[in-house]
Amino acid sequence: MVWYSVKPGLIPSLDVSLDKLSILLSDIDDIKAVYALKIGALLELDGLKKVISKIRDYTQIPIIIDHQKLADIPSIIKKVVEKIAAYDANGMILLGYVGPVSITTFIETCKDHGLASYIVAEMSHKGASEYIKEDTPLKIAKLAKDLNATGIVCPATKTESIQKCAAIIKGSSLGIMSPGHGPQGGGADSAVMAGADWIVVGRSFYNSPSPKQILINLGNVIINKWNDIQS
């Protein structure tokens, strides 16, 4: 089984300094619920190539690049994906609001370079959908399904959105990545019950005095909930 088809799982978000990585990644291979590690803009500022190399000192867990959600024109998206593919990353995230042409370019380029592709259908923070049409997340989910992306991103803070998007991609191999657990108000258990497969865990993980235990506990929660749904 290829790594990106494994469900369910946790995605620890590494929005920290390079110096703190050693604390967070120590013994992380022991936590079987971890699906992938997510690198965002804050850690990228330390130099993406150096960051990935540092992570590889500790683990071979797949790495998903969240490069400012890669919101750009198709030609730039193609170049960024090609460059990141050379850095030993395993997947990337794109903001779906950039439209169908950019989404298509992103997914096709990821496929060409062996990267998993995840499309943000809706973001998790308050006001994120203020200027977006109500059916936009559903259109993004349908296009991601039609183009055979790896998955879509729907917020744990909006379980109704997860349910609607899950209905759109039903019957396909796509999974749903869900951020917004913890400080933003979303719940990992309710997100999984709504249809999420992978839970992104950020501040409640890296700000905890016991980050490893957070992953173990949360991993048990989502695996049990996910198995209940499948049975």
Question: Residue 118's domain is classified under what CATH number?
Answer: 3.20.20.70
How big is the CA angle at 5 (ends 218 and 189), to the nearest 5 degrees?
25
Q: For residue 201, what pLDDT is reported?
A: 94
Q: Which amino acid is at 109?
A: T
State the average pLDDT over residues 121-137: 74
pLDDT, tens digit (0-9, with 9 covering 90-100), for 158-208: 899 999 999 999 999 999 999 988 877 788 999 999 999 999 999 999 999
Domain of residue 53: give its range.
3-230
Alpha-carbon gap, residue 127 to 139, rounded angstroms = 19
H helix count then E strand count, the chain: 10, 8
Structurally, the chain folds into a number of domains equal to 1
The set of catalytic residues is 69
Rounded to 10 deg, the angle between the 74-85 and 100-112 helix axes is 20
149-164: average pLDDT: 95
Q: Residues with Cβ < 8 Å from 17, sequence gap 6 or more?
A: 43, 46
